[in-house]
Amino acid sequence: MTDTAAPTSDSTRTARPRVPRAGAGLRGTRRPGPAPTGGARYGSRLTPYLFLLPGMVLFVGLVLWPIVQAARMSLLDWQFNPALPSPFVGLEHYDRAVHDPVFWRSLVNTGAYMVATVPTQIAVGLGLALLLNKAIAGKVAFRVLYYLPVVTSWVVVSLVFEYLFATSSGLVNHVLHDGLGLGSEPINWLGSRWPAMAVLSLLGIWKGAGWSMLIFLAALQAVPKDLLDAASVDGAGAVRRFFSVTLPQLRPVVAFVTVMLVIGGFNVFISVYVMTGGGPGDDTQVVLTYMYKQAFDFLEFSYGSAIAYLLAIIIFALSFAQMRLFRYDEEAS
């Protein structure tokens, strides 16, 4: 007796059911949607511009149009009364500014303010950032305390400093003259040119150092710790690590802070306007207060516009020179 297998055929073999792969049914049943029409395609491209439109309208109406109008006014003998003619005078107002001794005095005062405040704010801000970047108790409170002057109103702090440096009732003269017995009489801080500029510069440093500190603090936290650890292993001290590792890493940030502070220094206005008004005489005028005086006190809007454009040209030239200088220094290093 031998074992025999029953004959099988394709017709009698039981077929294994096919299990569809995941998503196959969905793909099999998906029907292509209608192709987007030309109008729908155009509408999808137009949507981003619709979102940008309100901001662009505000920019054109509140920024670009006044800039164009100021340029036009600087070339005219513009009259406030629309019934009066405003003849074209070309570069006459620019020539007047170039030969105006008060304009040059205001430019020198602005430059002196910038020279006094920009390096000091960078040094103080970087020093505070280095201290607050360490693990010290209460560093969050110190960060808030040092940054608080930045968000305080310029008008408020200007009035406070005006009180502090007042000749007869000021706290500074009370401490120096009455308390310490320095000087035969109280110092007239805001009554002469250079003492007033020193007080204005001190206010600018006190108010702006917190901004520099915040920018440098953010940059310090991005310095690779591996580089500092490697320098420590090689025997570099804190000073050597700062000049050899930290400062080169901060070079782009130093360039940014310098450019922004120079622009801010040339735009000083509120503190001078509140504390001295450009006086006595025109001894403490800066460019923006002199421009404001010409435009809104004497209603010489054309001359004020010319001064504004001269200031813009100076700021642009200085910013461009700084960026080229920092870029050349970075490429050389």
pLDDT digits (tens, 9 = 90+) for 187-234: 899 999 999 999 999 999 999 999 999 999 999 998 888 888 888 888
**241 and 195 assigned to the same domain:** yes
The count of structural domains within the chain is 2
Give yes or no for a contact between 177 and 189, defined as CB atoms under 8 angstroms apart: no
| pLDDT (0 to 100) of residue 6 | 44
Three-class DSSP labels, the chain: CCCCCCCCCCCCCCCCCCCCCCCHHHHHHCCCCCCCCHHHHHHHHHHHHHHHHHHHHHHHHHHHHHHHHHHHHHCECCCCCCCCCCCECCCHHHHHHHCCHHHHHHHHHHHHHHHHHHHHHHHHHHHHHHHHCCCCCCHHHHHHHHHHHHHCCHHHHHHHHHHHCCCCCCHHHHHHHHHCCCCCCCCCCCCCHHHHHHHHHHHHHHHHHHHHHHHHHHHHCCCCHHHHHHHHHCCCCHHHHHHHHHHHHCHHHHHHHHHHHHHHHHCCCHHHHHHCCCCCCCCCCCHHHHHHHHHHHCCCHHHHHHHHHHHHHHHHHHHHHHHHHHHHHHHHC
Model pLDDT, residue 32: 57
If asked whether residues 229 and 196 sit together in one domain, one would say yes
pLDDT tier, 173 (very low <50, low <70, confident <90, very high otherwise) = confident
Q: Answer yes or no: do 63 and 97 share one domain.
A: no
C-alpha 263/C-alpha 312 separation (Å) is 10
- The answer as to whether 6 is a domain residue is no
Model confidence band, residue 7 (pLDDT cutoffs 50, 70, 90): very low
Residue 64 has what pLDDT?
93
User: Do 61 and 140 fall within a single domain?
Assistant: no
Q: In whole angstroms, what separates CA 55 from the centre of its chain? A: 20
Task: Give the pLDDT score at 16.
Answer: 57
Q: Which domain covers residue 64, as residue numbers?
A: 41-74
- Give domain status of residue 328, yes or no: yes
pLDDT digits (tens, 9 = 90+) for 261-283: 999 999 999 999 999 999 888 99
Position 27 pLDDT exceeds 80: no
In a domain, 215, yes or no: yes
Given pLDDT bands bounded at 50, 70 and 90, which one contains residue 1?
very low
Phi, then psi, of 322 in degrees rounded to 5? -65, -45
Residue 15 lies in a domain: no
> Is residue 82, in this structure, part of any structural domain at all?
no
Residue 324 has a pLDDT of 86
Q: Are 161 and 201 in contact (CB under 8 A)?
A: no
Tell whether 67 and 113 lie within a shared domain: no
Are residues 98 and 69 located together in one domain of the fold?
no
Whether 181 and 220 share a structural domain: yes
**Tell me: the pLDDT tens digits for 279-303?**
888 999 999 999 999 999 999 999 9
pLDDT in tens, 103-155: 999 999 999 999 999 999 999 999 999 999 887 888 888 889 999 999 999 99
pLDDT tens-digit profile of 63-109? 999 999 999 999 999 988 888 898 999 999 999 999 999 999 999 99
Question: Does the residue 147 lie in any domain?
Answer: yes
Closest C-alpha to 265, from 179, 211, 205, 213: 205
Question: Within this chain, do residues 49 and 134 fall inside the same structural domain, yes or no?
Answer: no
Residues 235 and 283 in one domain: yes
Residues 47 and 194 both lie in one domain = no
CATH classification of the domain holding 307? 1.10.3720.10
Residue 13 lies in a domain: no
Q: Which of 242, 244, 266 lies closest to 322 in space, CA to CA?
A: 266
Q: Which pLDDT belongs to residue 180?
A: 83
pLDDT of 178 reads 79
- Average pLDDT in the 11-31 region? 52
Q: How far apart are CA 190 and CA 166, in angstroms?
A: 7
Domain-embedded: residue 9: no
Same domain, 59 and 153: no
How much of the chain, in percent, has pLDDT values that exceed 70?
A: 86
Do 57 and 179 sit in the same domain of this protein?
no
